[in-house]
């Protein structure tokens, strides 16, 4: 009998455990010893349940909250139906940045948007963080692009985009070693949580994705539980949290909770990261209500925060229209539309996006600089970068609000 199958009679099975042996190398002849010998240490790893066919038996309170949050997500998405162009990329980047911030990876909006264009690696810690957040944005976009294909293959694709350029971790491959959370990086002994043996990972992820594709479950609750299960499987050596939150976005798109934009739910989770980690631990003990309730609460917070960002961007665009005097057919209006969604540009990137001659784009950029819409500065010791400090400040205010409890 497969002991990883859930036993009957429990609404949701708790994670079980199995004994493992960790083989470490330690010096045995004093503190200056250079000779090391293997040492075997006993520990336990997790055995997550299979969930593909399980029902979600929620408390009435958490079920009602999840349903209300689902309706709010749909309404917010629909409210932007006619204004997708500026808000879809800004909200996508905001979600990627918030998801990264949960892992203590922070950078300003200016740093992230500059890193998108620079296409370079290295530099100080802030620049490296910005490059990691750019990779997370790619993973989020890959998740949305793959939302019609909720399979193990799509999860690997998300992770591959996330880990591009990482010299220490293989992107797009299941782990082949033990991973754990807490206490020590030297061994899993005494860890807060030890993920399942790597040999279990492929089958567990296949089972999870069957659960994710089901159409007979309450959608936001299904998304929350799938995320908790993914984090319990921990299928990669690094990037599990960011990939798992990208999977949440893919599921929300697949379940039609969102259609036009990415609602930055990770920005809601940031308001209570301790509660988020605790909810994952409670899930492993057989409690699904906590993670479902927290995901619903985070959705409400994310929508409130995103609405404020939308108001900020609309106000900035309105002030631009008052500042700029140009013919209705002037290319400056197309450039302003671009800046609302891409507030850091180079002359080449703007010309290419708008299909304009580079000579003409310099004229338009200089016009906006003279009107106070743009500032310019050489970055990365190469190109001149043009930026809208107003849009960047609005994005930074969004990030600051994300870190506060509602």
Residues designated as active site: 234
| Phi-psi label, residue 172: left if phi above 0, alpha if psi -120 to 50, beta otherwise | left
State the Cα angle at 365 between 359 and 366, rounded to 5°: 90
Q: Which of 176, 113, 191 is nearest to 389 (CA)?
A: 113
Binding annotation for ATP = 238-245
CB 403: neighbour CB atoms within 10 A?
13
Annotated binding site: 238-245
Residue with tokens 């349940």: 49
Tokens, residue 305: 């925060």
| Gyration radius (Cα) of the chain, Å | 24
Query: Which pair of structure tokens corresponds to residue 357?
Result: 């001659």
Q: Helix or strand or coil: residue 85? A: helix
Integer Cα distance of 61 and 387 in angstroms: 46
User: Beta strand 16-27 with 36-47: parallel, antiparallel or unpaired?
Assistant: antiparallel
Rounded Cα–Cα distance for residues 278 and 283 (Å):
9
The whole-angstrom separation of Cα 195 and Cα 4 is 14
């Amino acid at each position: 009998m497969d002991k990883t199958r859930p036993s009957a009679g429990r609404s949701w099975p708790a994670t079980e455990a199995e004994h493992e042996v960790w083989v470490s190398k330690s010096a045995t002849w004093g503190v200056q010893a250079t000779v090391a010998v293997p040492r075997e240490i006993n520990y336990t790893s997790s055995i997550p349940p299979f969930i593909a066919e399980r029902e979600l038996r929620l408390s009435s309170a958490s079920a009602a909250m999840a349903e209300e949050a689902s309706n709010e997500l749909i309404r917010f998405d629909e409210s932007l139906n006619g204004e997708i162009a500026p808000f879809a990329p800004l909200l996508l980047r905001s979600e990627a940045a918030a998801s990264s911030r949960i892992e203590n990876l922070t950078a300003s909006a200016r740093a992230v948007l500059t890193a998108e264009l620079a296409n370079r690696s290295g530099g100080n810690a802030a620049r490296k963080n910005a490059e990691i957040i750019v990779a997370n944005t790619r993973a989020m976009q890959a998740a949305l692009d793959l939302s019609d294909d909720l399979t193990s293959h799509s999860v690997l694709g998300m992770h591959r985009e996330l880990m591009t350029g990482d010299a220490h971790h293989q992107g797009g491959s299941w782990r082949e070693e033990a991973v754990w959370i807490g206490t020590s990086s030297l061994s899993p002994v005494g860890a807060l949580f030890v993920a399942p043996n790597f040999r279990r990972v492929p089958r567990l992820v296949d089972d999870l994705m069957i659960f994710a594709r089901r159409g007979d479950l309450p959608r936001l609750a299904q998304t929350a539980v799938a995320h908790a299960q993914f984090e319990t499987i921990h299928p990669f050596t690094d990037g599990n949290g960011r990939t798992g939150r990208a999977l949440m976005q893919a599921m929300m798109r697949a379940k039609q909770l969102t259609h036009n934009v990415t609602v930055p739910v990770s920005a809601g989770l940031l308001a209570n990261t301790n509660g988020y980690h605790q909810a994952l631990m409670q899930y492993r003990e057989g409690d699904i209500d906590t993670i479902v309730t927290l995901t619903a609460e985070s959705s409400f917070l994310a929508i409130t925060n995103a609405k404020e960002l939308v108001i900020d961007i609309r106000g900035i665009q309105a002030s631009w229209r008052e500042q700029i005097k140009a013919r209705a057919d002037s290319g400056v209006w197309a450039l302003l539309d671009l800046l609302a969604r891409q507030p850091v540009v180079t002359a080449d990137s703007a010309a290419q996006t708008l299909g304009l001659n580079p000579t003409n784009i310099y004229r338009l950029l200089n016009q906006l600089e003279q009107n106070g819409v743009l500032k310019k500065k050489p970055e990365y010791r190469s190109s001149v970068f043009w930026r809208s400090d107003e849009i960047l400040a609005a994005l930074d205010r969004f990030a600051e609000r994300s870190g506060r409890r509602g």
